[in-house]
Amino acid sequence: MFNFDRDRYKRIQGGAVACRDSINQAIEEITARGFTNLFLIGSGGAGILMSPAEYVLRTHSTLPVYREIAAEFVTMDHKHLNERSLVVLASLSGTTQETVEAAQYCKDRGAATISFTGKAGTPLARLTDYSIVNFAEDDTSCESFFIQFYLLAFRIMYNRGEFPDYDRLVAEWERLPEALLDVKERTEERAKAFAERYRNEDYHMMVGSGNTWGEAYYYAMCILEEMQWIKTRPVHASDFFHGALELIEKDMSLILLKGEDETRPLMDRVERFAKSYTDELTVFDTADYELAGISPAYRKYVSPIVAAALLERVSCHLEHVRNHPLTTRRYYRRVQY
């Protein structure tokens, strides 16, 4: 694969799976103390990547869960945050100002806190009661964060008697890094072709739903917009009928990110419509991949992780053919904001 280190990737994603024990210890201790609701807090991409964990909790658990943007959270006086809350905060660098401020805000109010970062000893890690660390960088952070947030969510539900299959699922996820490598290899030529075809495209619309919606939103905003400066509109499949479809023309680039959860029919509906009205339809479907070692019943959970793995290959080829490194910025962390 072009510009790709297999061993590095396996090490990072295997590290994410290996965070299971430290996550479990934190959850066991906080459960013994008792908590009545859960907050998932981050800024930008790190916050968006909590979306699948939020989705699985809302569809499998009765525990109240709130996913909030850090900057807004500290200004809104959330009435459900108290000393009986569990707050999970994420920042790859561990230095994101708004997230660090949110951690201090929650600490001051007596909530239990867990941080997820890519580096130890960062301001965010030092502020929280528990710190989960797995080294990752932008090209590997999506899968790493997805895996860790899922492990946290599944453990919480297991402790509540809401996910009895926890042990079996986690055992299968030991094979996930290898399965994700296969996804990347099978996507390589298609990713290269996509990058060549759309190297000069100045606008995309990207659609997702269910637990893959977060990845669609993340990829549109944090990769295509932030890292490639391409105007992109993320649209939830449920909302596609309400406005977005009126913008579809024959030369309109529409990217569908199809997962395998219960919302898949919503994506099928968008796809049926799009085939009749645009010649520039791209469908990335997680059902096209084998995922050796992952049971059919658990495939729906890994859809966003698979989507992140395959889209990284698209990103790699896009930056190459567009001569626009993914690290290039005009404003982000370059100027005062």
pLDDT of residue 333: 86
pLDDT of residue 325: 96
CA dist., res. 102 & res. 108, Å (int):
10
The answer to whether position 48 is within a domain reads yes
- Predicted confidence pLDDT, tens digits, the chain (337 residues): 999 999 999 999 999 999 999 999 999 999 999 999 999 999 999 999 999 999 999 999 999 999 999 999 999 999 999 999 999 999 999 999 999 999 999 999 999 999 999 999 999 999 999 999 999 999 999 999 999 999 999 999 999 999 999 999 999 999 999 999 999 999 999 999 999 999 999 999 999 999 999 999 999 999 999 999 999 999 999 999 999 999 999 999 999 999 999 999 999 999 999 999 999 999 999 999 999 999 999 999 999 999 999 999 999 999 999 999 999 999 988 898 8
Q: Quick one: 115 exposed, middle or buried, by C-beta within 10 A (0-12, 13-18, 19+)? A: buried
Kindly state whether residues 164 and 69 are assigned to the same domain: yes
Kindly state whether residues 51 and 111 are assigned to the same domain: yes
Give the CA angle between residues 289, 17, 86 to the nearest 5°. Answer: 115
The answer to whether position 333 is within a domain reads no
| In the chain, alpha helices (H) | 6-18, 20-33, 44-48, 51-60, 70-76, 97-108, 123-127, 138-159, 166-173, 176-197, 213-218, 264-277, 299-321
Kindly state whether residues 220 and 148 are assigned to the same domain: no
Q: DSSP string of 86-136?
A: EEEEEESSS--HHHHHHHHHHHHTT-EEEEEESSTT-HHHHHSSEEEE---
pLDDT of residue 258: 98
Kindly state whether residues 167 and 182 are assigned to the same domain: no
The answer to whether position 246 is within a domain reads yes
What residue numbers bound the domain in which 76 lies?
6-173
Amino acid letter for position 329:
R
Predicted structure pTM score: 0.97
Kindly state whether residues 252 and 316 are assigned to the same domain: yes
pLDDT of residue 332: 87
The answer to whether position 335 is within a domain reads no
Kindly state whether residues 21 and 148 are assigned to the same domain: yes
State the CATH number of the domain containing residue 24.
Answer: 3.40.50.10490
CA–CA distances in Å: residue 220 to residues 8, 120, 213, 226, 272: 25, 29, 11, 9, 22
Kindly state whether residues 220 and 197 are assigned to the same domain: yes
Kindly state whether residues 11 and 139 are assigned to the same domain: yes
CA dist., res. 250 & res. 169, Å (int):
43
Kindly state whether residues 13 and 153 are assigned to the same domain: yes
The answer to whether position 327 is within a domain reads no
CA–CA distances in Å: residue 230 to residues 204, 236, 244: 8, 19, 18
CA dist., res. 294 & res. 206, Å (int):
27
Kindly state whether residues 244 and 114 are assigned to the same domain: no
Kindly state whether residues 169 and 277 are assigned to the same domain: no
Q: How many domains does the chain have?
A: 2
Kindly state whether residues 236 and 207 are assigned to the same domain: yes
The answer to whether position 330 is within a domain reads no
The answer to whether position 326 is within a domain reads no
The answer to whether position 332 is within a domain reads no
